[in-house]
Amino acid sequence: MLLERALMLKNIRAFFHERNVIEVETPLLSHYSTTDLHLDSLQSRFRDQTCYLNTSPEYAMKRLLACWQKPIYQICKAFRDDELGPTHNPEFTMLEWYQPGYDMLQLMDELAALIEHLCHGSKLSPLDTSLLASPRFERLSYQQAFERFSGINPHQTTSGECYQVAKVNQVEIPQGLGLGEDEVNDWLDWLLTQLIFPAFKKDCFTFMYDYPATQCALAKVSENEQHILVAKRFELFFGEMELANGFHELTDGVEQLQRFQQENQRRELAGKQAGRIDENLIAALSHGLPDCSGVAVGLDRLLMALTGNVAIDRVLSFSWENA
């Protein structure tokens, strides 16, 4: 497994070298933390200062991109104060890259090309995992996934309709999830994990894209073919395991600051500590981030998919219990 991991890293670097994407390094330790409601930063201390291990290199890479305006990538460790389980480790390896001039669909194409490159470059026998011989990809919009597997349009649904879908499909309803208008996103997230993701093909990579505008995070918002505002973001799954998260990046510093502030409000309502907003990122966006798309890929999970492993500790040098 150590040799397979080494080969994967070598082949990733070869892939980007051929495409003139430049490898960079950014700090793992920062003065700033995430504001994402669903993520928590690990804290550390330097002298008398509280600091944070990065949940991804995104903010620092965007600062470089705003200054340099060239395609860049990074392979680094990332850290999250998250659950521990078959697909989660508090420390993990992340690949992240940004392509100026790319839209979301072009970056999805490039991610698929990278995975095909890694499959064909593996030293494992195709008999060990049929994935290596011919990786398959499917693309579904967020709306198409919900309509196919739950029968509702997620952009027009209500909490009550989501509740009925859960009941009909015998999905357990978590305590505290109500029927308020402001809880639709919570319902959609729950149905995703309990109903939509499990329905994805088990031996196939699935791209899901065009998320609800209310889940835009750091992505641009624009109209889809049905003239509905959607977030220009995508995720990649193998079976129901999430591998990657990508955006057609928001370049407006004022709007990004407002989004961070709104995320902090949601964190506080959920009983969490507000994140420290990265002022340097906001300054970089205001200076001028080129129109671009970026994606983060969990390399440990990707290695799980490539080698047919179902537990993350099988592809790590040392799991958390042995770190």
The share of the chain scoring above pLDDT 70, in percent, equals: 98
CATH number where 271 lies: 3.30.930.10
Q: Is residue 19 part of a domain?
A: yes
> What average pLDDT does the segment 134-161 reach?
96
Do 10 and 51 share a domain, yes or no?
yes
Do 10 and 122 share a domain, yes or no?
yes
Amino acid at position 105, single letter:
L
Cα separation of 317 and 12, whole Å?
Answer: 19
Which band of pLDDT confidence, cut at 50, 70 and 90, is reported for residue 126?
low
> What average pLDDT does the segment 293-309 reach?
96
pLDDT at 65 over 90: yes
What does pTM read for this prediction? Answer: 0.95
> What average pLDDT does the segment 83-91 reach?
94
Do 127 and 158 share a domain, yes or no?
no
> What average pLDDT does the segment 283-298 reach?
97
pLDDT at 164 over 80: yes
Q: Is residue 143 part of a domain?
A: no
Question: Which range marks the domain in which residue 35 is found?
Answer: 2-136+247-322
Q: Is residue 215 part of a domain?
A: no
Do 17 and 166 share a domain, yes or no?
no
Do 117 and 61 share a domain, yes or no?
yes
Residue 134 pLDDT: 83
- How many separate domains does the chain show? 2
**Residue 64 neighbours by CB distance under 10 Å:** 19
Do 171 and 274 share a domain, yes or no?
no
Q: Is residue 254 part of a domain?
A: yes
Do 165 and 314 share a domain, yes or no?
no
Do 114 and 259 share a domain, yes or no?
yes
pLDDT at 13 over 70: yes
Q: How far separated are the first and last CA of the chain, in Å rounded?
A: 17
pLDDT at 213 over 60: yes
Q: Is residue 241 part of a domain?
A: no
Residue 82 pLDDT: 87
Q: Is residue 222 part of a domain?
A: no
Which band of pLDDT confidence, cut at 50, 70 and 90, is reported for residue 133?
confident
Do 178 and 127 share a domain, yes or no?
no
pLDDT at 285 over 90: yes
> What average pLDDT does the segment 244-270 reach?
96
Residues 6 or more apart whose CB falls under 8 angstroms from that of 258 comprise: none
Which band of pLDDT confidence, cut at 50, 70 and 90, is reported for residue 304?
very high
Residue 83 pLDDT: 85
pLDDT at 115 over 80: yes
Q: Is residue 231 part of a domain?
A: no
Amino acid at position 203, single letter:
D
